[in-house]
Structure 1
Amino acid sequence: MQTSVTTGPLGGFDRWSDRRGVVRLAVVVVTLALAGVLGLLRDEVTSSTAALILVLPVVAAAAAGDRVTGVLTALAAAAGFDFFLTAPFYSFAIHGRDDVELAGVLVLVGLAVTEVALWGHRQQASARERDGYIEGVLGLADTAAHGGGPELVEGVEQAVTLALGVDRTSWRRGPGSSSLPTLHRDGRVRVDGRDVGVSRHGLPTDTVLVVPAGQGHLEVVAATRTVRPTRDQLRAVLLLADQLRTSTAERTPSRGR
Structure 2
Amino acid sequence: MSTETGAWRMLHGKHAPAHTLPLRDRLALTAGLSAPFLVALTLVPFRTSLSHTNAALILVVVVVAVSSLGSRTAGVVAALSAAAWFDFFLTRPYETFDINATADIETAVLLLVVGVIVSQLAARARRLEVMTVTDASHLARIHRTADLVQSANSADTVVDHVRTELTDLLGLRACRFEYGTLMGRPPRLEKDGSVTVGRRTWNPETDGWPEGDIELRAYGNGHYFGRFMLTPGPGAVPALQARLVAVTLADQTGAALDTSGPVRGW
Quick check: TM above 0.5?
A: yes
Mapped pair 1:217 → 2:222: no
| CA distance in 1 between partners of 2:76 and 2:113 (Å) | 9
3-state SS of paired residue (1:221): strand
1:238 corresponds, among 231, 234, 247, to 247
| CA distance in 1 between partners of 2:202 and 2:157 (Å) | 32
Report the equivalent of 2:212. Answer: 207
1:156 corresponds, among 148, 162, 179, to 162
Report the equivalent of 1:136. Answer: 141
Q: Which amino acid aligns with 1:141?
A: A
CA 1:110–1:148 in structure 2 vs 1: closer, same or farther (change >3 Å)?
Answer: farther
Equivalent pair of 1:202/1:227 in contact (CA under 8 Å)? yes
What 5-or-longer segments of structure 1 have no aligned partner? 1-7
| CA distance in 2 between partners of 1:252 and 1:37 (Å) | 78
Mapped pair 1:228 → 2:228: no
Report the equivalent of 2:178. Answer: 172
| CA distance in 1 between partners of 2:198 and 2:81 (Å) | 56
CA 1:28–1:50 in structure 2 vs 1: closer, same or farther (change >3 Å)?
Answer: closer
Tell me how many residue pairs correspond in the alignment.
Answer: 238
3-state SS of paired residue (1:40): coil
User: How big is the shift at 1:150?
Assistant: 2.2
Equivalent pair of 1:181/1:209 in contact (CA under 8 Å)? yes
Higher relative contact order (CA 8 A, sep 6+): 1
Report the equivalent of 2:189. Answer: 183
Report the equivalent of 2:39. Answer: 31
Mapped pair 1:194 → 2:200: yes
1:50 corresponds, among 47, 55, 75, to 55
Task: Tell me which moved more, 148-157 or 87-96.
Answer: 87-96
Q: Which amino acid aligns with 2:226?
A: G
Report the equivalent of 2:89. Answer: 84
Task: Tell me which moved more, 14-23 or 55-64.
Answer: 14-23
- TM-score, normalization: structure 1? 0.78
1:158-217 deviation digits (Å, cap 9, x = unpaired): 10111111211111012445632112222221122321011221212x211111114000
3-state SS of paired residue (2:193): coil
Q: Which amino acid aligns with 1:27?
A: A
1:6-31 deviation digits (Å, cap 9, x = unpaired): xx99xxxx896796688567624542
What 5-or-longer segments of structure 2 have no aligned partner? 8-21, 220-224
Equivalent pair of 2:67/2:122 in contact (CA under 8 Å)? yes
User: How big is the shift at 1:153?
Assistant: 0.8
| CA distance in 2 between partners of 1:25 and 1:92 (Å) | 17
User: How big is the shift at 1:49?
Assistant: 3.9
Report the equivalent of 1:40. Answer: 48
Q: Which amino acid aligns with 2:203?
A: G
Q: Which amino acid aligns with 1:227?
A: A
Q: Which amino acid aligns with 1:118?
A: A
Q: CA RMSD in A?
A: 3.1
- Sequence identity percentage: 26
CA 1:66–1:31 in structure 2 vs 1: closer, same or farther (change >3 Å)?
Answer: farther
3-state SS of paired residue (1:218): strand
CA 1:113–1:30 in structure 2 vs 1: closer, same or farther (change >3 Å)?
Answer: same
Q: Which amino acid aligns with 1:144?
A: V
| CA distance in 2 between partners of 1:249 and 1:55 (Å) | 65
Q: Which amino acid aligns with 1:74?
A: A
CA 1:67–1:186 in structure 2 vs 1: closer, same or farther (change >3 Å)?
Answer: closer
User: How big is the shift at 1:237?
Assistant: 0.3
Report the equivalent of 1:251. Answer: 263
